Amino acid sequence: MDNYDVVVLGSGPGGYVAAIRAGQLGMKTAVVERDAIGGICLNWGCIPSKALLRNAEVLSLIQHASEYGIAIQSARPDFGKAIDRSRDVVGRLTRGVGTLLRKNRIEHITGNGVLLDANTVDVDGRRLEANNIVIATGARQRHIPTLPIDGKSVITSREALEMRRVPRRAAIIGGGATGCEFAYIWNTYGAEVTIVELMPRLIPNEDEETSAQLERSFRRQGIEIATNARVQGIGIDGDTAKISISTDGESSVIECDTVLVAVGVQGNIDEIGLDAAGVDTERGFVIIDENMRTSAPGVYAIGDVTGKMLLAHVASAQGVTAIEHIAGMSPQPLDYTQMPRAIYCRPQVASFGLTEVQAREAGHAVKIGKFPLAASGKALAMNESEGMIKLVVDSEIGELLGAHMIGAEVTELLGELGMAKLLEATTTELGWLIHPHPTISETIKEAALAAEGEAIHI
């Protein structure tokens, strides 16, 4: 039997980060992975989808080249080559993760890990004894009876990231991040796209104004949107999928070639020995405390398998927290409300903290600072002038309660606002800070000034 200080089940952005942090702290560590190193995010999620989004952005520039005084006679997009490029990006990153594990003396064990008890993991007959176990097995698409996935006509994002041809007609069930990103990609490559969303608006967890702006933009791009729409069932007739939906009590049918299901996930908690180890679950996810401890002493869980927030950077932060707690340190508790959120369609959507509605419901006296990208010199120069920056601010002390942004490259602004929040900056400090001109980042300064009635350029 092999003995370790820490054994990590899963090598996604939570698992491999946890393993590396353990290695940095001098712990003998092994990471167990049954599939490709890097988990879903690197292999079949965040990274390949962002590569395809970049391809779509380049194609969009070509399609609108005349607006820049450039005449292009015949552009022939090859989606298969876009997929090839995305796989190349994935390969480079996963090889990099492997290098990092070796650098930090982490043993990478390929196989299916199952807990025999709270200190023992069986990997295809090999037993690993561990003082601490970190469960980082991720999540998968939830089975929904009305959305029967066959991997051909009805698919998940996993199959979508392998398709070498864009469907002629596509329906996307779910108007969250994944649904919106694929809608942008496929629409840009010429597909007729319809998004079907159960809630009253796209990206329903985001600020209402941001959601409304995204819907307007998508409709201008030619994307159809059906909100308040419940899927009653999907039928397959040859090469055609027929989706029966009910919208505000009225029934209709959407016909398409491909249905992408982008709603609902469940934690990968099956057949990994949670019962044997005494790990409690709830609604398909592992229950954890603020230090990522499960109900079983010495067993921790991080990432999507916990259901806390299905974001790669959250999993990484949880991984560091778990390992530092194991090491006897006192990691800062994670504030999930303040975690940055990013959607990489065009226009991009970025946010953290409370929405305006949430802030008021929480009892805050609120003031709002907004600045439209249409008033940004850099945005106009880029021909990317749709969108806005919206800051939700405590009216008494100027504390930043939330930020909600939509527009060109706004995801890159989250770092600055996150640092401002971490250092307890107010709109006064954000308004003082001198930004380079012309940049998109200037819009943060202007929005902060707007909250105080002092914006210069609106």
Q: How far apart are CA 429 and CA 400, in angstroms?
A: 11
- Copy the structure tokens of residue 435: 């930004």
Residue 273, C-beta contacts closer than 8 angstroms, at least 6 positions apart: 114, 115, 116, 121, 122
- Copy the structure tokens of residue 454: 């002092």
Position 11, amino acid: S
Q: How far apart are CA 305 and CA 116, in angstroms?
A: 19
Q: How far apart are CA 395 and CA 390, in angstroms?
A: 14
Q: How far apart are CA 119 and CA 24, in angstroms?
A: 22
Among the residues of 230-345, which ranges form H helices?
274-277, 312-326
Dihedral of alpha carbons 269, 286, 13, 97, sign: negative
Catalytic residue among 143, 435, 437, 457: 437
The region, left, alpha or beta by phi > 0 then psi within -120 to 50, assigned to residue 245 is beta
Annotated catalytic residue 108 = no
Residues, the chain, total? 458
Give which of 354, 323, 334 is closest to 289, Cα–Cα: 334
| 400-407 and 2-9 strand pairing | unpaired
| Residues facing 122 on adjacent strands | 114, 127
Q: How far apart are CA 140 and CA 185, in angstroms?
A: 22
> How far does the chain reach from its first CA to its final CA, in angstroms?
69
List the catalytic residues: 437
